[in-house]
């Protein structure tokens, strides 16, 4: 009873049901559309991850970040330097067990070339509550041009498991309103600096 | 009932019995191997499931059960036990069933199959040993430069080799069945689906060996460095495509269960088989899915890999998403349930745990796992949820609400047909798929919700209590994690019921004798529908058309909502 000759041996010659055919066509074009939309976003969208990446020796990277922090440090936060780089400049951020270093102070609406790397394990750069999530590798220096569009205080948390202290791996970015050139923003900045000095 | 037949003498004298419910000839050696692999699968499901509950209770901020060391250790064990050992042991059982049993054939090399089983058991036990020792807490993905002991990598390699041998036996059985003429024409659709799963498994296991062998040497101190980015690219060649084995396997089981319980036949063989073929042809490329937030990888590479090719695989799943309910609707209409658009669905055998589990798996795999998978795998959208708890939310939708639930559903058929035991505790068995399904669906949705609010995955303490620079998640995020914990308790309760029913039945269930009437009966035309192939002639499917329309609209809306979120982020390029 179970092993009886098939009803239609040549299954590949069967007609396709109309409802199936319509669904296949819809699904196919939807897939094609989604494919096209990703390409289109590189032209119409403002959020495309950069691929600019260099191989870097972790200790060299650490030295670059330290030099950068020393040059633009404006104050301290819980023992971590708060660094205010000029707009348009190269900004270095370092992931290590277990902190994001240093703390950055950026200007709303200004673009920065952010360098990301790790000096030990892989880490996850997760900017909150904005929810931008980028993987950070040791030995690879990833550079993206970032423009904050809102002001306030933002947390960076690590979202790649990096050992037992993973949950303490945090950092911070302050974004100040106003343009960099405007003197008013400098006064705001001086106000905030005092606490740290 | 035990009708003894002689196989080809010079190879092996196979002993067969004839199944009184399906009329299939069952090789007793194959039956023993199916039992062994299914039992091992359930043992690792129980262990991994318990670990999963502990993880969820720790991530519920109000409970926060385990200390950090234990949390990461248990999380590593959870991933290995459920994602690898439960699923792959079960898949081996499915492969032996789909080859030897469905084709009325003897299994190709039972001794070798036992050796493969032994290797897999040794690998799985060794992995648990390595993890529980506490020095291999590297998570399921085991990314370097974080390092586990050599035991850990070796255990995974042994397991993979065992699984590869089992897959080889499946292929050999297909050859034996063909040569010995145990069936005519093409293999049944269910076997065809299993074949696609097996082909994908070969690529996948090979890819795993290619990366794990150097990693083992590195961990043993014989290789000085493993490039973390290169590791990831090769690892995900295994990691993502291994999930397509599950998809092929559980879609095959959807067709099998639909055939046995309502007598469903595919609408057209050509369409269903081509959809399976798309899995083989395109899913290998989906490894880029996991590399979208990685530095240095080219955007066009990401787009081609995750999208164009992948959408052809998505197309495969979308086709099954129509043809499986469509086949059920057509069969139910033939069974006489023709009123309105949905009488066929209302009068479906919802009291049969295999049907309930299968249909819930179908719906949740499509709506939760499928849609979120496409969104997550979109080049730019990924930045919104990479490594947040959205990611486990997505794959619990595919692998727990989809694959695991489908495997559980199939078990309710394996117990009477292969173990020849009557299901114990039928009331609990009826409740089980609903309890587990609702729990698994809740886990997936609430984790996705929390991830959208920025909660990281694999994170012991989202209050950041010991951090020098603190951070506060929103109240919504905490609510989501609490609801996730409650859902995990539901799912665990469903999991415990499953274990109770399966273990009770396997050891103490009433033995099925000739003339036995099953508590959960098969459809009278089920045997023919499962072993024949051939297309359903009915094509009036108003209910299915409504269902797929709802699905498509949800898909499109959710896709664009995420683009809207993305457009509100800071600018980056
Ligand atoms: Cu980290």
Cβ distance A133 to B182 less than 8 Å, yes or no, reads: no
**What's the rounded Cα separation, in Å, for the pair B345 and B325?**
9
**What's the rounded Cα separation, in Å, for the pair B366 and B310?**
16
Name the residue with higher pLDDT: B309 or B552: B552
| pLDDT range class, residue B284, cuts 50, 70, 90 | low
Chain A residue with CA closest to B457: the answer is A159
- For the stretch A26-83, pLDDT in tens is 999 999 999 999 999 999 999 999 889 999 999 999 999 999 999 999 999 989 999 9
pLDDT at B241 (0 to 100): 76
Cβ distance A2 to B385 less than 8 Å, yes or no, reads: no
Residue B434 has pLDDT above 90, yes or no: yes
pLDDT at B237 (0 to 100): 74
Average pLDDT over residues B514-534: 80
The candidate with the shortest Cα–Cα distance to B331, out of B500, B189, B532, B540, is B540
pLDDT at B144 (0 to 100): 85
**Joined tokens for residue A105:** 């102070």
Q: Tell me how close the Cα of A109 comes to any Cα of chain B, in angstroms.
A: 9
**What's the rounded Cα separation, in Å, for the pair B238 and B205?**
6
pLDDT at B296 (0 to 100): 83
- Percent of chain A clearing pLDDT 90 (strictly above): 74
Helix (H) / strand (E) containing A53: strand A53-55
Chain A residue with CA closest to B324: the answer is A20
Is B475's Cβ below 8 Å from some Cβ in A? no
Q: Which of A90-94, A108-112, B66-70, B303-307 has the lowest mean pLDDT?
A: B303-307
Contact B408, B321 (CB under 8 A): no
pLDDT at B559 (0 to 100): 96
Average pLDDT over residues B449-475: 92
Q: Tell me how close the Cα of B126 comes to any Cα of chain A, in angstroms.
A: 22
Class of residue B148 by CB neighbours under 10 A (exposed 0-12, middle 13-18, buried 19+): buried
pLDDT at A9 (0 to 100): 59
User: How many residues can be counted in chain A?
Assistant: 197
Tell me how far the alpha carbon of residue A65 lies from the centroid of ligand 1, in angstroms.
17
Residues 110-139 of A with CB under 8 A from B: 111, 116, 120-122, 124, 126-139
Average pLDDT over residues A159-181: 87
State ipTM: 0.89
pLDDT at A85 (0 to 100): 95
| pLDDT range class, residue B539, cuts 50, 70, 90 | low
Q: What are phi and psi of B502, to 5 degrees?
A: -70, -50
Strand partners, A119: none
| pLDDT range class, residue A1, cuts 50, 70, 90 | very low
| pLDDT range class, residue B531, cuts 50, 70, 90 | low
Per-residue burial over B199-215, b = 16 or more CB atoms within 10 Å of its CB, e = otherwise: bbbebbbebbbebbebb
Q: What are phi and psi of A132, to 5 degrees?
A: -105, 125
Query: Which of B293, B390, B543 should be substituted to probe chain A, the one whose Cβ sees the most A Cβ atoms within 10 Å?
Result: B293
- For the stretch B182-198, pLDDT in tens is 888 888 889 999 999 99
Average pLDDT over residues B246-274: 91
Tell me how far the alpha carbon of residue A99 lies from the centroid of ligand 1, in angstroms.
7
Looking at every residue in chain B, the average pLDDT score rounds to 90
Q: Tell me how close the Cα of B298 comes to any Cα of chain A, in angstroms.
A: 6
| pLDDT range class, residue A181, cuts 50, 70, 90 | very low
Chain B residue with CA closest to A21: the answer is B271
Strand partners, B26: B17
Non-local CB neighbours of B450 within 8 Å, separated by 6+ positions = B388, B389, B390, B393, B477, B480, B481, B484
Angle at B354 between CA B248 and CA B401, to 5 degrees: 55
Cβ distance B24 to A2 less than 8 Å, yes or no, reads: yes
Residues from chain A that touch B267, judged by Cβ atoms under 8 A, are 17, 19-20
Contact B136, B59 (CB under 8 A): no
3-state class of B288 per DSSP? helix
| pLDDT range class, residue B310, cuts 50, 70, 90 | low
3-state class of A151 per DSSP? coil
Is A27's Cβ below 8 Å from some Cβ in B? yes
Residue A184 has pLDDT above 80, yes or no: no
Which residue bears the tokens 């807490």? B137
Which residue bears the tokens 């971590």? A80
Is A15's Cβ below 8 Å from some Cβ in B? yes
pLDDT at B533 (0 to 100): 67
Q: What would you report as the CA-atom Rg of chain A, rounded to the nearest whole angstrom?
A: 25
Residues from chain A that touch B471, judged by Cβ atoms under 8 A, are 128, 155, 157, 170
Chain B residue with CA closest to A51: the answer is B296
DSSP structure class, residue B388: B
Residues from chain A that touch B323, judged by Cβ atoms under 8 A, are 20
- Write the residue in B228, B307, B541 that is nearest to A38 by C-beta: B307
Chain A residue with CA closest to B295: the answer is A142
The candidate with the shortest Cα–Cα distance to B144, out of B85, B200, B215, is B215
3-state class of A96 per DSSP? strand
**Joined tokens for residue B269:** 């063989």
Residues from chain A that touch B527, judged by Cβ atoms under 8 A, are 1-2
Q: What is the dihedral of CA B80, B415, B170, B118, to 10 degrees?
A: 50
Contact A156, A34 (CB under 8 A): no
Strand partners, A82: A75, A103
Is B378's Cβ below 8 Å from some Cβ in A? yes
Chain A residue with CA closest to B290: the answer is A135
pLDDT at B45 (0 to 100): 96
- For the stretch B344-402, pLDDT in tens is 999 999 999 999 999 999 999 999 999 999 999 899 999 999 999 999 999 999 999 99
Name the residue with higher pLDDT: B173 or B236: B173
pLDDT at B3 (0 to 100): 46
Residues 220-239 of B with CB under 8 A from A: 227-229
Residues from chain A that touch B315, judged by Cβ atoms under 8 A, are 24, 27-28, 31
Is A18's Cβ below 8 Å from some Cβ in B? yes
Non-local CB neighbours of B184 within 8 Å, separated by 6+ positions = A3, A5, A6, A9
- Percent of chain B clearing pLDDT 90 (strictly above): 64
Name the residue with higher pLDDT: A178 or B505: B505
Non-local CB neighbours of B237 within 8 Å, separated by 6+ positions = B203, B204, B207, B210, B211, B284, B287
Contact A119, A187 (CB under 8 A): no
Q: Tell me how close the Cα of B43 comes to any Cα of chain A, in angstroms.
A: 28
Q: What is the largest distance, in Å, between two alpha-carbon atoms of chain A?
A: 90
Is B140's Cβ below 8 Å from some Cβ in A? no
- Percent of chain B clearing pLDDT 70 (strictly above): 95
pLDDT at B23 (0 to 100): 83
Sign of CA dihedral B307, B298, A148, A193: positive
DSSP structure class, residue B570: P
**What's the rounded Cα separation, in Å, for the pair B395 and B443?**
10
Chain B residue with CA closest to A81: the answer is B469
Is B330's Cβ below 8 Å from some Cβ in A? no
The pTM of this model reads 0.92
**What's the rounded Cα separation, in Å, for the pair B99 and A45?**
50
Is B271's Cβ below 8 Å from some Cβ in A? yes
Residue pairs spanning A and B at CB distance below 8 A: 305
Q: Which of A20-29, B205-214, B245-254, B480-489 has the lowest mean pLDDT?
A: B205-214
Non-local CB neighbours of B151 within 8 Å, separated by 6+ positions = B126, B129, B130, B133, B136
- For the stretch B326-343, pLDDT in tens is 999 999 998 999 999 999
3-state class of A73 per DSSP? strand
Sign of CA dihedral B210, B213, B215, B218: negative
Cβ distance A16 to B456 less than 8 Å, yes or no, reads: no
């Amino acid at each position: 009873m179970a092993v009886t000759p098939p009803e239609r041996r040549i299954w590949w010659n069967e007609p396709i049901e109309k409802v199936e055919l319509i669904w296949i066509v819809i699904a196919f074009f939807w897939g094609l559309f989604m494919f096209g939309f990703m390409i289109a976003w590189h032209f119409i969208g403002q959020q495309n991850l950069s691929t600019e990446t260099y191989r870097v020796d972790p200790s060299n990277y650490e030295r670059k970040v330290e030099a950068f922090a020393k040059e633009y440090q404006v104050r301290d936060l819980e023992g971590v330097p708060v660094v205010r780089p000029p707009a348009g400049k190269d900004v270095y951020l370092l992931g290590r067990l277990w902190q994001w270093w240093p703390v950055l102070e950026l200007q709303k609406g200004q673009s920065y070339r952010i360098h990301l790397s790790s000096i030990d394990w892989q880490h996850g750069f997760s900017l909150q509550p904005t929810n931008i999530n980028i993987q950070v590798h040791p030995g690879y220096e990833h550079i993206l041009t970032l423009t904050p569009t809102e002001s306030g205080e933002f947390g960076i948390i690590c979202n790649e498991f990096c050992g037992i202290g993973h949950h303490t791996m945090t950092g911070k970015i302050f974004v100040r309103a106003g343009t960099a050139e405007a003197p008013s923003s400098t006064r705001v900045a001086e106000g905030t600096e005092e606490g740290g000095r | 009932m035990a009708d003894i037949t002689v196989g080809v003498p010079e190879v092996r004298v196979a002993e067969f019995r004839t199944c009184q419910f399906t009329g299939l000839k069952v090789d007793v050696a194959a039956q023993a191997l199916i039992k062994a692999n299914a039992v091992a699968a359930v043992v690792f499901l129980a262990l991994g499931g318990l670990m999963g509950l502990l993880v969820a209770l720790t991530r519920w901020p109000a409970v926060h059960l385990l200390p950090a060391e234990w949390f990461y250790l248990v999380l590593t064990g959870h991933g290995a036990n459920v994602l690898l050992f439960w699923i792959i042991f079960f898949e081996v059982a499915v492969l032996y069933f789909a080859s030897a049993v469905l084709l009325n054939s003897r299994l190709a090399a039972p001794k070798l199959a036992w050796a493969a089983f032994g290797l897999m058991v040794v690998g799985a036990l060794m992995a648990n040993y390595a993890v529980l020792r506490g020095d291999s807490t590297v998570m399921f993905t085991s990314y370097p430069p974080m390092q586990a002991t050599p035991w850990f990598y070796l255990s995974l390699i042994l397991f993979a080799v065992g699984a590869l041998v089992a897959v080889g036996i499946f292929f050999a059985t297909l050859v034996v069945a063909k040569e010995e003429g145990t069936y005519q024409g093409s293999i049944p659709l269910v076997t065809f689906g299993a074949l696609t799963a097996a082909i994908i498994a070969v690529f996948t296991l090979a890819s795993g060996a290619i990366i794990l062998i150097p990693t083992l040497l590195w961990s043993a101190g014989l290789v000085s460095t493993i490039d973390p980015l290169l590791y990831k690219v090769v690892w995900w060649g295994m990691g993502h495509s291994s999930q397509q084995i599950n998809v092929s396997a559980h879609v095959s089981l959807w067709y099998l269960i639909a055939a046995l319980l309502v007598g469903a036949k595919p609408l057209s063989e050509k369409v269903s088989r081509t959809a399976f073929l798309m899995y083989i042809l395109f899913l290998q490329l989906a490894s880029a899915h996991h590399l979208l937030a990685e530095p240095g990888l080219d955007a066009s590479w990401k787009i081609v890999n995750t999208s164009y090719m992948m959408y052809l695989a998505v197309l495969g799943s979308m086709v099954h998403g129509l043809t499986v309910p469509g086949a059920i609707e057509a069969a139910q209409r033939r069974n006489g349930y023709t009123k309105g658009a949905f009488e066929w669905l209302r009068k479906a055998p919802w009291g049969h745990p295999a049907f309930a589990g299968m249909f819930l798996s179908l719906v949740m795999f499509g709506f939760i796992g499928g849609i979120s998978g496409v969104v997550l795998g979109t080049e730019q959208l990924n930045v919104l949820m990479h490594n947040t708890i959205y990611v486990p939310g997505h794959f619990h939708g595919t692998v727990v609400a989809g694959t695991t639930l489908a495997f559980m559903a199939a078990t309710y058929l394996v117990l009477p047909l292969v173990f020849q035991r009557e299901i114990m505790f039928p009331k609990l068995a009826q409740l089980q798929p609903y309890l587990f399904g609702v729990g698994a669906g809740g886990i997936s949705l609430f984790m996705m919700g929390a991830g959208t609010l920025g909660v990281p995955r694999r994170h012991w303490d989202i209050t950041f209590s010991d951090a020098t620079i603190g951070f506060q998640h929103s109240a919504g995020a905490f609510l989501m994690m609490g609801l996730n914990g409650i859902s995990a308790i539901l799912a665990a309760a469903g999991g415990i019921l499953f274990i109770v029913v399966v273990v009770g039945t396997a050891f103490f269930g009433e033995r099925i004798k000739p003339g036995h009437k099953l508590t959960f009966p098969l459809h009278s035309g089920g045997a023919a529908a499962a072993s024949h192939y051939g297309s359903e002639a009915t094509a009036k499917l108003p209910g299915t058309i409504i269902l797929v329309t709802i699905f498509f609209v949800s898909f499109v809306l959710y896709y664009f909502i995420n683009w809207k979120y993305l457009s509100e982020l800071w600018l980056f390029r």
